[in-house]
């Protein structure tokens, strides 16, 4: 991918990496936690070769993207960022959207709010909330999700350091040390650490909806079909915690696939399999 560039969207300055021809249809790739656009390098290469204009932004709060001036990191804000980036890059109705981990809720919200911007979408490693079964509260899954509850505490700022980030990657998708340095850089400053924690604090303590703010649109009413991908060896969220009837929680025409021998960061664990699924999905529609 190309060197980091900057663009303004939704009141923020976004850093981003890019690939492919400027004249191609927009492919916006949204990363999760603790991650950066660097993990999209395999997907970006394939999509760029297929003629897409690939843009992979650093999500709000991840340096060099600015922190949210209002401190808001809920999923609705991430979705608004995605649609604003579509506008900023001059995307058309042929644009496609891909999100991993926290990028997945951004995908769901963006295609529900403004489906006319996107032709097809891919979400990875985080299903819609309605598709999480009781297994998400099992003892085994709660052990995996310990960090979510830790992040609600006052010690979280001192805990979220390089050693902790490396430990999460080892537990979730071992063997990718080359992806860690960009994450350390993106979350080096205290304000960026606070932003990353803000995603999780808003998840368990959502702010009240402000008067005049439109209610969230139902995802299943969107006209944008979604391919959902999950790693069979995901150390963060077991697929056993996901409703087998997952597509009932997605727009019509959606489907899902389990990627063998892939952990949470499946785009770097099994890039050939993930790239094939994504390219087939975008080609079919």
Residue-wise pLDDT tens digits, 100-127: 999 999 999 999 999 999 999 999 999 9
Predicted local confidence at residue 205, as pLDDT:
75
CA distance 156 to 149: 9
Residues of the chain with pLDDT under 50: 211-212
Contact in structure between 194 and 154 (CB atoms under 8 Å): no
At 85, phi and psi to the nearest 5? -70, -35
Give the chain's domains with CATH numbers: 5-207+217-284 (3.40.50.1820)
Contact in structure between 232 and 260 (CB atoms under 8 Å): yes
Dihedral (C-alpha) 187, 189, 193, 195: value to the nearest 10 degrees? -100
Contact in structure between 91 and 26 (CB atoms under 8 Å): yes
CA distance 93 to 95: 6
CA distance 65 to 177: 23
Predicted local confidence at residue 45, as pLDDT:
98
Rg, Å, the chain Cα set: 17
Predicted local confidence at residue 217, as pLDDT:
80
Predicted local confidence at residue 137, as pLDDT:
87
Could you give the count of Cα atoms lying within 13 Å of 242 in the half-sphere of its Cβ? 25
How much is the pTM?
0.96
């Amino acid at each position: 991918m190309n060197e980091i560039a900057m663009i303004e969207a939704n009141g923020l300055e976004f850093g981003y990496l890019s690939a492919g021809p400027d004249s191609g249809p927009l492919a916006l790739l949204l990363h999760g936690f603790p991650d950066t656009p660097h993990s999209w390098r395999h997907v970006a290469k394939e999509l760029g070769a297929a003629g897409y204009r690939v843009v992979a932004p650093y999500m709000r709060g991840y340096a060099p993207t600015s922190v949210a001036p209002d401190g808001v990191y809920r999923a609705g804000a991430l979705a608004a960022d995605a649609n604003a980036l579509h506008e900023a890059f001059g995307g058309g109705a042929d644009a496609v959207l891909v999100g991993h981990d926290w990028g997945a809720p951004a995908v769901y919200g963006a295609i529900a709010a403004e489906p006319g911007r996107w032709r097809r979408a891919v979400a990875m490693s985080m299903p819609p909330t309605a598709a999480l079964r009781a297994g998400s509260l099992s003892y085994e899954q709660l052990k995996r999700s310990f960090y979510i509850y830790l992040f609600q505490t006052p010690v979280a700022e001192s805990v979220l350091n390089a050693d902790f980030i490396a430990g999460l990657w080892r537990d979730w998708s071992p063997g990718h040390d080359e992806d860690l340095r960009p994450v350390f850089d993106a979350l080096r400053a205290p304000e960026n650490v606070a932003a990353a924690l803000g995603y999780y604090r808003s998840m368990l303590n959502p702010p009240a909806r402000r008067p005049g703010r439109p209610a969230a649109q139902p995802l299943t009413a969107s006209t944008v079909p979604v391919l959902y991908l999950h790693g069979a060896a995901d150390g963060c969220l077991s697929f056993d915690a996901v409703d087998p009837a997952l597509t009932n929680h997605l727009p019509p025409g959606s489907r899902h696939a389990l990627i063998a021998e892939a952990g949470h960061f499946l785009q770097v664990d099994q890039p050939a399999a993930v790239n094939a699924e994504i390219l087939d999905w975008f080609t079919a529609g």
